[in-house]
A = this chain, B = another copy of it.
Amino acid sequence: MYHHIKKLMYTVKVDSPDPRFGNMLLEQFGGANGELAAAMQYSIQGLNCEDPQRKDLLMDIGTEELSHLEVVGTLARMHLKPMKQQQNGAEVDPLIAIAGGGGVSLFNSMGDAWTADYLKITGELDVDLRSNIAAEARAKIVYERLINQCDDPGSKDALQFLMTREITHMKAFTLALESLGKNQFSIGKIEPTPGLVDEYFNDSTGEGDEGEKDATGPWNSGGHWKIVETRELQQGVENLESSGGRKRGKEQEKLRKTA
């Protein structure tokens, strides 16, 4: 059950309303990485969750994001309100000015309606937590960019509050994931095919227009990594085909570096 308290989680003050900035703020109201997306992603994961501990976590943060939605919506509205009266306001965002009367609605900064396609919900707790960690990282960087575009001190304060909370949530989700005690690369129950799982396919080759070359790093060399070249991969498949096999064989792998 939800309860609304007639008080913003962070009081908002705007000294100089700027419809252009208000329009940008909508990215965090009805945008892909905005507060409704966060609120819905966590709350619905929580509704589906069967781990009572982490269900509480999901509901706590899901609810906090609803309060953030209210803060960022109020902030955007303060910047957008003049749009109804002024012609230059209507130029900035006719959808808000003409159809919305200068009020906010669930659109992003380009006037795209919010869609649940933004959400990542799988019903697999550790997978959902990974999606949430990434979501918080995205929300943080978007708030940072908004702060960099903003001159109004009151708006900056509110955005700093909201941005900070994303890091809080990112920490909480990370610790909740780690405390599940699962192997970092173990997802679900079916094991990946040994050998194949350590092959790195070098599918982009040659030298780029700005001198880019094939790179190596911990993601494809050292440890168990084996780099497989596209041509060899193709050749290997052909060999296998002609000998009646259906699976990719060991002979098609080519070790390049294992440093």
B6 close to A3 (CB less than 8 A) = no
Contact of A27 among B33, B98, B175 (CB under 8 A): B98
Residues of B within 8 Å of A11, CB to CB, are 209, 237, 240-241, 246
- The contact sample of 13 A-B pairs, CB cut-off 8 A, is A3-B5, A6-B207, A11-B240, A44-B73, A45-B103, A47-B103, A56-B204, A90-B149, A97-B145, A98-B109, A130-B133, A165-B196, A176-B219
B98 close to A157 (CB less than 8 A) = no
- With A and B bound together, what is the CA distance between A6 and B63 in angstroms? 11
- With A and B bound together, what is the CA distance between A176 and B217 in angstroms? 7
For chain A, the count of residues having a C-beta within 8 Å of the partner chain is 156
B23 close to A94 (CB less than 8 A) = yes
- With A and B bound together, what is the CA distance between A62 and B247 in angstroms? 23
Distance (whole angstroms) from the CB of A120 to the closest CB of chain B: 6
B141 close to A122 (CB less than 8 A) = yes
> Which B residue sits closest to A190, measured CB to CB?
B144
B32 close to A206 (CB less than 8 A) = no
A64 close to B142 (CB less than 8 A) = no
Q: A114-B116, A116-B113 are in contact. Are A4 and B1 (CB under 8 A)?
A: yes
Interface string of A14-31 (1 = CB under 8 A from B): 000000100110010011
Q: Does A238 contact B (CB under 8 A)?
A: yes
Distance (whole angstroms) from the CB of A234 to the closest CB of chain B: 5
Q: Does A112 contact B (CB under 8 A)?
A: yes
A95 close to B109 (CB less than 8 A) = yes
- Which residues 202-250 of A have a CB within 8 angstroms of B? 202-209, 211-215, 217-220, 230, 233-234, 237-238, 240-241, 246-248
- With A and B bound together, what is the CA distance between A125 and B103 in angstroms? 11
